[in-house]
Amino acid sequence: MQSPDRSAKKAGLTAKSVGETAPVAALVARARALNALDRQLRQPLPDALRRQCRLATVQAGRIVFLASSSTWATKLRLYQNAIIAQARVTSGLPIEKFTVKVAPLPPAPPEPAKRKPLSKASAEHLRAAARSFADPELRAVYLRLASLAE
């Protein structure tokens, strides 16, 4: 009996990660574009203000920022003309309106955790396991993992 993976491969079907599906890929692309625009638009702001606001969205000619309090929202509005001008240049969109909403800011993404190096003993166990596999693809994956050892 063939495994489901092998029969799917023979039928020309391949598994896709969630990020490779069209709707999710479009969402990821939009999030990345908004993140890049956010960094560019907040860069010229004073440090204290930059830490208290985030770009929420750009939609239908309107740019929407989030500010952590009404005080920061008011200070951000003082820069709205410069932000709109920069957003037009950066995004190429016909932005005409500026909105600031007071809301808790999304948490800053954590710094990526430093990976622990793979020990030589672990690498040897992976190599031994790889030798026991008949499947060449699985063997190659284990050997690639073993090559990451210190």
pLDDT, one tens digit per residue, over 103-118 is 988 777 777 777 778 8
* Confidence band for 83, pLDDT divided at 50, 70 and 90: very high
In the three-class reduction of DSSP (H, G, I as helix; E, B as strand; rest coil), residue 64 is classed as: strand
pTM across the whole model: 0.59
Per-residue confidence (pLDDT) for residue 3, from 0 to 100: 53
Per-residue confidence (pLDDT) for residue 113, from 0 to 100: 76
Mean pLDDT of the chain: 85
- Determine the Cα–Cα distance for residues 45 and 77; give it in Å rounded to an integer: 11
What DSSP state is assigned to residue 69? S
User: Is residue 73 pLDDT above 90, yes or no?
Assistant: yes
Residue 62 φ then ψ, to 5°: -125, 135
pLDDT digits (tens, 9 = 90+) for 8-25: 555 556 666 766 778 888
CB 88 within 8 A of CB 62: no
